Amino acid sequence: MAWQSAVFEVIDMRSFSNLWFWIALAVMWSTASHWVLGVPFDMVTRAARRGGQAQADLEDLVRINVDRILFFAGAAGAWLIGVTSFLLTMLALLGFVYGIEFAQAVFCLFLPMSLVWAKGLRTARRIRAEALTGAALRRRLKGQRIFTQAVGMVAIFVTAMWGMYRNLAYLPLGD
């Protein structure tokens, strides 16, 4: 039992005061911003600069990823919406009604990301429906990236404010 006590003393298990939570939050939004519909954004900028084979590679990778996204959405879309809604509702209730900080932290991670996923699905559908290529495709991917970055900035700000509130509201008071 002594090693467990030592672990919990070294690693703060409260979410908003834990450095690992903030690192995970930053990595999650950085990764989401870099990978637009499963395509690394540097490919988009390279295709804009070089054209030719770089543009063809971008279009091929976007086509493959759009097909995968739309296949999964078609095959399990209703189930994914149901399970996601259930999990987000459960996290919201556990976190904000019952006061479980870990559920609040996970909710702060996944609610904004679910918005990005939904917008990504919509973008994939539009790319396929409009058969986008070239500059129009790059513009659509750039728009998705800007949306992701905007949601990420708001999510990080709101999470930071809520985390500071939680940390300040529950400070252990000395004698």
Residue 8 is predicted with a pLDDT of 60
Residue 92 is predicted with a pLDDT of 97
Amino acid letter, residue 145: R
The string of pLDDT tens digits covering residues 117-155 is 999 999 999 999 999 999 999 999 999 999 999 999 999
Q: Please, which residues have CB within 8 angstroms of residue 13's CB and are 6 or more apart in sequence?
A: none
Residues of the chain predicted below pLDDT 70: 1, 3-13, 172-175
Q: Where are the alpha helices (DSSP H) in 12-133?
A: 19-34, 41-50, 52-92, 101-130
Alpha carbon 134 to its chain centroid, in Å, reads 27
| DSSP summary character for residue 11 | S
Residue 124 is predicted with a pLDDT of 97
Residue 19 is predicted with a pLDDT of 85
Residue 7 is predicted with a pLDDT of 61
Residue 15 is predicted with a pLDDT of 80
- Rounded to two decimals, the pTM is 0.86
- The partner residues of 40 in beta bridges, in order of sequence, read 35
Amino acid letter, residue 132: L
Write down the domain spans for the chain.
50-165
Q: What are phi and psi of 36, to 5 degrees?
A: -95, 115
Residue 82 is predicted with a pLDDT of 96
| DSSP summary character for residue 175 | -
Token reading at 122? 């919509």
Q: How many residues are there in the chain?
A: 175
